[in-house]
């Protein structure tokens, strides 16, 4: 990477949330909501405690509070700029004022701050749920990703769940990457407003690709770099990191018809062509 994870986001800062308005981002949000909501309420109907790892501007941290009634949400991000933006965006919320929503600077590749993970305040860690929305794409290898999963595992109670938004879990990542270099893919990506370049050479371990993501926003383009690794890397890394429970990839659900597409996404159903075979994201759920 030309810049560290922290500094590339320090530059992007709050402009990042403008990306959340494009239909593909709304699709991601709706899918995450459907997957994570059942984990936000515990069997005794108490609210879950949630760690939002790589929380960025706290976009999902705030939404979690709308989707259900978690007991608390703690957001951690490596970028102080992102944490400040998250605090600003949450400042008027009651949950933030009451301390049930808070943000901390921290690095998911290092042991997490002890005060967060093993809080003596039972309202927080160890957590029932860890959300990692676009976190694992910063790991260049199984080994690095296993380190992140070890930190996830240490933050979760036994039986707790990790929910991750990742790049598409491609079985044949070489074919997936090759497709992205074709004119058909370029046209598809222009429609989605976000383009992905699979950079040469692939990562040295052979586990996947270095990628550059560019979101063509007005007035500024946002561009950042990360990694897209083979599907089995995510699975092996979770196991190596100590996540031994059920592991599943959720199927990305697209709008069913023209009406749903217009109503929920503001675009016709033809917009989603190609998305079923090549959604830009995957959602993995792993139990500790
Ligand atoms: C693409 S953004 C996603 C933000 C948020 N989860 C969302 O989906 O809106 C990725 C975030 O990961 C953070 N990040 C990258 N590496 C990290 C690390 N090692 N530990 C914690 N956060 C990290 C970046 O600072 C950035 O805010």
- Alpha helix (H) residue ranges in 46-156: 59-67, 80-90, 94-97, 114-117, 142-155
Assess whether the C-beta atom of 283 lies below 6 angstroms from ligand 1: no
248 domain-assigned? yes
Reported as type and span, the H/E element at residue 10 is helix 5-12
- Which residue is associated with the tokens 């599907």? 231
Cα(50) to ligand 1 centroid in Å equals 16
Question: For a pocket test of ligand 1, which of 56, 106, 226 has the largest count of ligand atoms closer than 8 A to its C-beta?
Answer: 56
Can you tell me whether residue 174 is helix, strand or coil? Answer: helix
Can you tell me whether residue 228 is helix, strand or coil? Answer: strand
> Pick the residue with more confidence: 72 or 194?
72
d(CA 164, CA 286): 9
For residue 24, the domain's CATH number is: 3.40.50.150
pLDDT at residue 4 is higher than 80: no
Cα(45) to ligand 1 centroid in Å equals 30
pLDDT of residue 92: 97
d(CA 71, CA 73): 7
d(CA 46, CA 48): 6
Cα(54) to ligand 1 centroid in Å equals 4
d(CA 112, CA 126): 12
Give the domain range for residue 91: 5-171+230-287
> Pick the residue with more confidence: 184 or 281?
281
Task: Give which of 77, 66, 20 is closest to 40, Cα–Cα.
Answer: 66
Rounded mean pLDDT of 216-242? 90
156 domain-assigned? yes
CA atoms within 13 A on the CB side of 94: 4
100 domain-assigned? yes
Assess whether the C-beta atom of 96 lies below 6 angstroms from ligand 1: no
- Alpha helix (H) residue ranges in 91-195: 94-97, 114-117, 142-155, 173-179, 183-192
221 domain-assigned? no
Number of structural domains (the chain) is: 1
Cα(158) to ligand 1 centroid in Å equals 25
Rounded mean pLDDT of 203-215? 91
Closest residue CA from atom 1 of ligand 1:
134
147 domain-assigned? yes
Rounded mean pLDDT of 225-239? 97
d(CA 180, CA 187): 10
Can you tell me whether residue 266 is helix, strand or coil? Answer: coil
249 domain-assigned? yes
Closest residue CA from atom 12 of ligand 1:
54
Cα(278) to ligand 1 centroid in Å equals 23
Assess whether the C-beta atom of 138 lies below 6 angstroms from ligand 1: yes
197 domain-assigned? no
Q: Give me the sign of the Cα torsion angle 152, 195, 256, 60.
A: positive
Assess whether the C-beta atom of 134 lies below 6 angstroms from ligand 1: yes
d(CA 199, CA 195): 13
pLDDT at residue 34 is higher than 50: yes
Model confidence at 2, pLDDT cuts 50, 70, 90, reads: very low
Cα(82) to ligand 1 centroid in Å equals 8
CA 148 to chain centre: 13
pLDDT at residue 219 is higher than 70: no
62 domain-assigned? yes
Model confidence at 215, pLDDT cuts 50, 70, 90, reads: confident
> Pick the residue with more confidence: 21 or 165?
165
């Amino acid at each position: 990477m030309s810049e560290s994870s922290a500094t590339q986001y320090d530059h992007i800062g709050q402009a990042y949330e403008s990306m959340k308005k494009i239909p593909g981002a709304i699709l991601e949000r709706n899918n995450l909501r459907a997957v994570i909501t059942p984990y936000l309420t515990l069997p005794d109907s108490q609210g879950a405690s949630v760690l939002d790892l790589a929380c960025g501007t706290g976009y999902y941290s705030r939404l979690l509070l709308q989707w259900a009634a978690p007991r608390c949400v703690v957001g951690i991000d490596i970028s102080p700029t992102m944490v400040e933006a998250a605090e600003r965006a949450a400042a008027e919320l009651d949950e933030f004022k009451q301390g049930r929503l808070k943000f901390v600077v921290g690095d998911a590749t290092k042991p997490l701050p002890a005060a967060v993970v093993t809080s003596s305040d039972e309202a927080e860690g160890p957590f029932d749920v860890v959300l990692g929305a676009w976190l694992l794409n910063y790991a260049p290898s199984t080994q690095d990703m296993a380190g992140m999963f070890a930190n996830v595992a240490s933050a979760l109670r036994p039986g707790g769940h990790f929910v991750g938004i990742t790049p598409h879990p491609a079985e044949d990542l070489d074919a997936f990457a090759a497709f992205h270099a074709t004119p058909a893919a370029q046209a598809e990506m222009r429609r989605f407003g976000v383009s992905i370049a699979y950079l040469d050479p692939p990562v040295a371990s052979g586990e996947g690709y270095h990628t550059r993501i560019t979101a063509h926003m007005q007035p500024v383009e946002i561009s950042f770099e990360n990694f897209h690794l083979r599907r089995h890397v995510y699975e092996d890394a979770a196991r190596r990191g100590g996540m031994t429970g059920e592991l599943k990839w959720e199927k990305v659900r697209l709008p069913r018809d023209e009406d749903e597409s217009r109503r929920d996404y503001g675009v016709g159903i033809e917009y989603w062509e190609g998305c079923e075979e090549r959604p830009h994201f995957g959602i993995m759920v792993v139990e500790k």
